[in-house]
Structure 1
Amino acid sequence: MFRLKNTVMAMFVATGALMGAARAAAPEAIVAPLMTKALDDYPGKEALMITVTYPPGSVDPVHRHHAHAFIYVLEGAIVMQVRGGKEVTLTPGQTFYEGPNDVHTVGRNASQTQPAKFMVLLLKDEDAPVLVPEK
């Protein structure tokens, strides 16, 4: 779990640095790993479950996961979009999916005053990065 937590946190710190001055003004997402599990029926694959908390005004960098990502909103409202898809605002109980080839172009808290929290289940290659910055 220690390796997982450090890997996830280091990945988000690195992507935040890539966003430059414009990103510095927005608060960063808080990522908390919940569990990781090797998928024995699918050699080389694992499931990773995390929670993401967006402080008010939080915005993600454009990125991809190279994974199947299943998102479930727990609190607040979030805005999501993948390249070529429609921008959607999601509230508690709603879901969103990102495929391995999707580029996540919009990920942000819909509110400037209230936090938002969601859970993500990633089905990915073992030891693959959780997030890869994109242009």
Structure 2
Amino acid sequence: MAVISVHAQTPTAPPPSVKPVMTQALPDYPGKEVLILEVEYPPGGADPVHRHDAHGFVYVLEGSVVMGVKGGKEVTLMPGQSFHEGPADIHTVGRNASQSKPAKFVVFLLKDVNKAAVLPAQ
């Protein structure tokens, strides 16, 4: 599968590498699908503010990442830890906690079929 460029990057942080793993329609939930992505932040890497219009579940594989949504607290996640954001959440913080080591995580999105995985924050 090809690498997805999902959003514009902030000028100061290196962009993440996003690789699709799987997309699966959910016949029991018409119009819904699961999209699984593998994301790797380079050292100092970060996402710009964005949203998903989906339930998003992050599971950290390597390194540590800082995640946060508007109105919530930032959390630093280590391997084996997870994070959830809902369809109405604005993802205000998504970055590698390290300036010297990469971080890798898997994202599971429960979303509408044919809807973009990442949307600009409004």
Compute the TM-score of the two structures, normalised by the length of structure 1: 0.86
- The answer to whether 1:48 aligns with 2:35 is yes
2:41 and 2:6 map into 1 onto residues whose CA distance is 16
Q: Residue 11 of structure 1: which of 3, 6, 11 is its match?
A: 6
* Pairs within 5 Å for 1:1-135: 5=2, 9-12=4-7, 15-16=8-9, 23-134=10-121
Gaps of 5+ in 2: none
RMSD of the alignment, in Å? 1.3
- Higher strand residue share: 2
- Share of identical aligned residues, percent? 58
Q: Is the 8 A contact 1:61 1:133 kept in 2?
A: no
Structure 1 segments (4+ residues) deviating >4 Å: none
1:60 and 1:118 map into 2 onto residues whose CA distance is 13
What is the deviation of 1:104?
0.4
- Count of aligned pairs: 122
**Match of 2:84, as an amino acid?**
Y
What is the deviation of 1:69?
0.4
Gaps of 5+ in 1: 17-22
Q: Is the 8 A contact 1:63 1:103 kept in 2?
A: yes
